[in-house]
Amino acid sequence: MMSIAVFILFFILSFLLGSWTDTVMAKLRRESTLPLRIASGGCILIVTAMAACLIGGAAHLPANVTAIVALCALIVIAVSGIVMKKRTGSGLKVLWPHFDQKSAAMTAVCALITALQVYGAVSYAFENAHVLEGVRAAAKVFDSGRMFTADPMMLIVGLLSRITGVHPLNLIFGVLPATLITFYYVCYAAVIFEVTDGYKRFVSFVAVSLLNLFGYQSQVLIPATLLLSWSGTWVFIIHGLLGTASVILNACMKALPDKVRADENEINDELLEEWDMKNHRIINARNLAIALGVLAVALIGTIVVLNGKINSLYAATLNLQEDMNSRCAMYEFVGAEGKVEGYLLRGSDGTLSFIGGGSSANADDLADFIGKYGTSVTKWYVYGEDEESAGAMRTLTSNGTVDAEKVFVISADELTE
Amino acid sequence: MIRELFYKLHTAFRSFIGEGNAVVLFVAASLFILLICLSEKRRYRNMFTVMSPLSTIGLAVSEVIDRVAGAGYAKPVLKAAAVLFAACLSILAVTSSGKLVFSGELCEKAENEMHIPAYLVDAMNGIPEGDARVLVPYDRAPYFAAYSSRFVLSSDILKGSDESVIRTELDGIHPDMKKIAGIAHREGFEYVVLPVDIWPEVPITKCGYELVLENEGCRLYREVRDP
C-alpha cells in the first residue's frame, strides 16, 4: 500500500513541478510533452529534496525539521510554477496526437517491460553486498534522527524512513523501486520522444530496456547500474538528470534566433560547395571519415577479441586457489643434510599427518616446514623410537612447537622386502 | 609490442569499465549517428542527446533498423529478412554489452524484503541492543552497515597490516584464528562473525571467544570476559 501511495504522490508532485518546464519550453517556442513534464518535475523534486537534505546535514538539523523545509520548498516551487505557466499560457503536447491501436499496443508493451523490471528488482537480491555500500548513511539518519553530510539520495531515503518509520532497506527494496524505476523510464521516454518518431520510439525504448537488463559491467559501475542501484545518486544523474537536461538543451539549440540561423545557412551553403570541390580529391573529408571508420572497427574488433581471451583466462583461474586448498595434498620434507626425511599429508578436511622426521638436527627445519601448513598434526608416524628416527618428533612435541595428537611407531623389523 | 600495448590498454580499460562493451557500443552509436548526419549533409540538432548514453545507443539501434527497412528491396520477403537480420544483430550487440543483471550467477530470489540473507539477520539480531564492535568478513560488512548504524565494523576500524591479515585469513578455508583473535582482542571487538565454510586449525573458542549463535550461514562469537 505504501509503495502505491508513494508512487501516486511522487508522480502528482512531479506533474505539478513540471509546469516550470512548460514555461521554459514555451519561451523557447517549443511544445512540452507529458513525459518531459513529469521527468523534469521529478528531477526538480529530487534535486530540491537533495538540497534540503544537504543543508540539513550541514547544519545537523533533526530529520523532521529538514522534512518540513523540503516540503515548504517544494510547495513554493510548485505554486510559482503553476502561476508562471498560467501567465505565459504555455500548452502541453499530447503524448501521441493520434492514439491508435498500434500506439496503444506499443505503450502497453513498454509498460509491461517496465513492470517486469520493477518486479525483478523487488523480488531478486543481488549477491554482491557492495550494492548496499551507500545505505549506511540512510541507516544512520534512521537510527539517530539527525541529518549529516553524506550521499544526498541516501539522505532522502533516510529522511523518508525516519518520517515513515520504515527501515531504509524496506524502503529501498519494497517501496521505492516502482516509483524510481518507472520515473527513470519516463525520463528515457522524454528523450526518445524528442529525437525519434513512430515505431522507432518503441525500438529505442526496447533497446534501452535490454541495456539496463544486460548492461552490468563491473564493480566500479554498480552505482550507475539502474536495476542494481536505483536509489543511488549516480543513477539519478545518469539515467534521469542528464537525459532530461539534454532535451531542454536540444530545445535551446533549436530555438536559435532567425538571424543566426540565416547566417548559419549561408555558412552551410559555402561549406557544402567547398565540400563538393574537395570531394574530387583522393584525400578529402569523406575518405578520411571512411578510413577513420575502418580504423575504429578494427580497434573495436581487437578489443572484443582480447576481452574474450582475458575473460576465459580469468574464469579458469577464479577458483583455482580455493580448489587447490580443498584437495588432498602431499609435501616432501628435505632435512638438514639434503635428504628426504619425511612426508606431510594434508587431507581435504585440512587435517595434517606426518611420516618420518629424522633426527633432532632436523628439528628447526621441520618446525618451519610444518608451520607453513599448521601447528597440529593429527597422526605422526615414525620409523623407530631411536634418536635417528624420532629425534625431531620428540624435540618439536616436547617444546610445544607442534601438537601431535597421536604418534605411531613403525618398527623397522616388521618391514620386510 | 603492439599486441602488448593493446593488452595493457585493454586491461586498464577493463579494470575500470569491466566488460567494456557498453562503452564501445556507445562510441559506435555516436559515430553511426555522426556518419548519418555527414551522409545526409545536415547538422544534427539533437547533439545533446549524447549526454544520455543509453538513449544514444537506443537511437542508433532504431536508425539502423529504420534504414535497413527503408532500403529498396525488390521482394517483400527479402526486405522482411533484412529487417529481421538487422534487429537480431542489434539485439546481439546490446545483450552482449555486459553481464546479465538478472542471472543465476549474480542474483537469487530475495529471502526477505530487506534483501539481506536470513542467516545474517539472525546474527545481527543476536547481538544485544546498543553499540557493538563487530569483526566481520569484508564481503558481509555492507549488510551490517546497512542494517543498523549501531555496529562498529572491522572494515571501518582496521587499516594497514591488520586489514591485510584479516582479509587474507578469512579469504582462505584454513584461517589462523590465533592471528584473527589477537587482532580482535587488541582492537576491542566484542563480537566476531565467521562463515561456516572454514576449517581453522585452532578454533576461535580456544582464543578467548565463546560461541553465541550458530545457523546455516554463520557463527557468532562473543569475547569471554572475566566475571
Distance separating alpha carbons of residues A66 and A74, to the nearest angstrom? 12
- Whether the pLDDT of residue A174 is over 70: the answer is yes
pLDDT greater at residue A329 or residue A283: A329
Confidence band, pLDDT 50/70/90 cuts, at residue A97: very low
Using CA of residue B89, residue B90, residue B94, residue B95, what is the dihedral sign? Answer: negative
Spatial neighbors of A407 by CB under 8 A, at least 6 apart, are: A379, A380, A381, A382, A393, A397
- Neighboring chain A residues of B15 at a CB cutoff of 8 Å: 218
User: Closest to B65 (Cβ–Cβ): which among A203, A218, A268?
Assistant: A203
Written as one letter, the residue type at B70 is G
- Out of A154-158, A308-312, A360-364, B190-194, pick the least confident: A308-312
The pLDDT value given to residue B135? 94
- Neighboring chain B residues of A375 at a CB cutoff of 8 Å: 201-202
Average pLDDT over residues B75-91: 81
pLDDT greater at residue A278 or residue B169: B169
The pLDDT value given to residue A280? 58
- Neighboring chain B residues of A246 at a CB cutoff of 8 Å: 48-52, 55
- Whether the pLDDT of residue A91 is over 90: the answer is no
- Chain-chain contact of A192 with B59 (C-beta, under 8 angstroms): yes
Measured in whole angstroms, the distance separating CA B77 from the mean position of its chain's CA atoms is: 45
Nearest chain A Cα distance for residue B112, angstroms: 9
Long-range contacts of B121-130 (CB under 8 A, 24+ apart): B121/B147, B122/B213, B122/B215, B123/B193, B123/B213, B123/B215, B123/B218, B123/B220, B124/B148, B124/B151, B126/B212, B126/B213, B126/B220, B127/B151, B127/B191, B127/B220
The pLDDT value given to residue A239? 94
Share of chain A above pLDDT 90, in %: 39
Average pLDDT over residues B114-135: 92
Confidence band, pLDDT 50/70/90 cuts, at residue A353: very high
pLDDT greater at residue A120 or residue A323: A120
Print the SS3 string covering chain A: CHHHHHHHHHHHHHHHHCHHHHHHHHHCCCCEEHHHHHHHHHHHHHHHHHHHHHHHHHCCCEHHHHHHHHHHHHHHHHHHHHHHHHHHCCCEECCCCCCCHHHHHHHHHHHHHHHHHHHHHHHEEECCHHHHCCHHHHHHHHHHCECCCCCHHHHHHHHHHHHHCCCHHHHHHHHHHHHHHHHHHHHHHHHHHHHCCCHHHHHHHHHHHHHHHHCECCHHHHHHCCCCCCCCHHHHHHHHHHHHHHHHHHHHHHCCCHHHHHHHHHHHHHHHHHHHHHCCCCCCHHHHHHHHHHHHHHHHHHHHHHHHHHHHHHHHHHCHHHHHHCCCEEEEEECCCCCEEEEEEECCCCCEEEEECCCHHHHHHHHHHHHCCCCEEEEEEECCCCHHHHHHHHHHHHCCCCEEEEEEECCHHHCCC
User: Closest to B22 (Cβ–Cβ): which among A211, A246, A349?
Assistant: A211
B221, B211 Cβ separation under 8 angstroms: yes
- Whether the pLDDT of residue A279 is over 60: the answer is no
- Whether the pLDDT of residue A183 is over 90: the answer is yes
Distance separating alpha carbons of residues A198 and A103, to the nearest angstrom? 8
Task: Report helix angle A176-195 to A199-214, nearest 10.
Answer: 140
- Out of A7-16, A179-188, B99-108, pick the least confident: B99-108
Distance separating alpha carbons of residues A327 and A221, to the nearest angstrom? 36
- Out of A6-15, B54-63, B171-180, pick the least confident: B171-180
Whether this model's ipTM surpasses 0.90 comes out as no
The pLDDT value given to residue A94? 46
- Whether the pLDDT of residue A56 is over 90: the answer is yes
- Whether the pLDDT of residue A351 is over 50: the answer is yes
Place of cell 521529478: A42
The pLDDT value given to residue B17? 61
If one counts every other C-beta atom within 10 angstroms of the C-beta of residue A348, the result is: 11
Residue A356, all three cell numbers: 618420518
Measured in whole angstroms, the distance separating CA B183 from the mean position of its chain's CA atoms is: 29
Q: What is the largest CA-CA distance in chain A?
A: 112
pLDDT greater at residue B16 or residue A2: A2
The pLDDT value given to residue B73? 65
Between β-strands A403-409 and A376-382, what pairing exists: parallel, antiparallel or unpaired?
A: parallel
Place of cell 517501496: A175
Rounded to a whole number of angstroms, the CA Rg of chain A reads 35
- Chain-chain contact of B46 with A124 (C-beta, under 8 angstroms): no
From A366, A337, A339, select the one nearest A354 (Cα to Cα).
A366
User: Closest to B20 (Cβ–Cβ): which among A303, A350, A375?
Assistant: A303
Nearest chain B Cα distance for residue A36, angstroms: 14
- Chain-chain contact of A126 with B107 (C-beta, under 8 angstroms): yes
Long-range contacts of A91-95 (CB under 8 A, 24+ apart): A91/A22, A91/A26, A91/A31, A91/A32, A92/A22, A92/A31, A92/A32, A92/A33, A92/A34, A92/A37, A93/A31, A93/A32, A93/A33, A93/A34, A94/A34, A95/A33, A95/A34, A95/A35, A95/A193
From A410, A250, A260, select the one nearest A343 (Cα to Cα).
A410
Residue A181, all three cell numbers: 524505476
Place of cell 632436523: A362
Written as one letter, the residue type at A327 is R
- Neighboring chain B residues of A220 at a CB cutoff of 8 Å: 16-18
B154, B146 Cβ separation under 8 angstroms: no
- Neighboring chain A residues of B21 at a CB cutoff of 8 Å: 304, 307
Nearest chain B Cα distance for residue A157, angstroms: 12
Average pLDDT over residues B128-146: 91
Average pLDDT over residues A257-269: 56
User: Closest to B52 (Cβ–Cβ): which among A129, A130, A243?
Assistant: A243
Identify the closest residue of chain B to A304 by CA–CA distance.
B21
Identify the closest residue of chain A to B201 by CA–CA distance.
A374
Distance separating alpha carbons of residues A227 and A177, to the nearest angstrom? 9
- Chain-chain contact of A124 with B111 (C-beta, under 8 angstroms): no
Mean pLDDT over each residue of chain A, to the nearest integer: 84
pLDDT digits (tens, 9 = 90+) for B146-202: 999 999 999 988 888 888 889 888 887 788 899 899 999 999 999 999 988 888 878
Mean pLDDT over each residue of chain B, to the nearest integer: 84
pLDDT digits (tens, 9 = 90+) for A380-398: 998 888 888 889 999 998 8
- Whether the pLDDT of residue A240 is over 90: the answer is yes
Confidence band, pLDDT 50/70/90 cuts, at residue A234: very high
The highest-confidence range among A29-33, A64-68, A281-285, by mean pLDDT, is A64-68
- Chain-chain contact of B49 with A211 (C-beta, under 8 angstroms): no
B107, A125 Cβ separation under 8 angstroms: yes
- Neighboring chain A residues of B106 at a CB cutoff of 8 Å: 126-128, 216
The pLDDT value given to residue A58? 92
The pLDDT value given to residue B41? 61
Average pLDDT over residues A275-301: 70
Average pLDDT over residues B109-128: 91
Place of cell 585469513: B169
Average pLDDT over residues A163-175: 93
Question: How many contacts does A have with B, using Cβ atoms within 8 A?
Answer: 252
Using CA of residue A269, residue A275, residue A279, residue A281, what is the dihedral sign? Answer: positive
- Chain-chain contact of B10 with A272 (C-beta, under 8 angstroms): no
Confidence band, pLDDT 50/70/90 cuts, at residue A348: confident
The pLDDT value given to residue A246? 92
Distance separating alpha carbons of residues B224 and A282, to the nearest angstrom? 84
- Neighboring chain B residues of A123 at a CB cutoff of 8 Å: 109-110
- Which of B10, B26, B54 would you mutate first to test chain A, the one with the most A CBs within 10 A? B54
If one counts every other C-beta atom within 10 angstroms of the C-beta of residue A63, the result is: 22
A341, A356 Cβ separation under 8 angstroms: yes
- Chain-chain contact of B52 with A188 (C-beta, under 8 angstroms): yes
pLDDT greater at residue B72 or residue B151: B151
The pLDDT value given to residue A410? 81
Residue A6, all three cell numbers: 508513494
- Neighboring chain B residues of A221 at a CB cutoff of 8 Å: 17-18
User: Closest to B108 (Cβ–Cβ): which among A125, A310, A376?
Assistant: A125
Average pLDDT over residues A214-218: 77
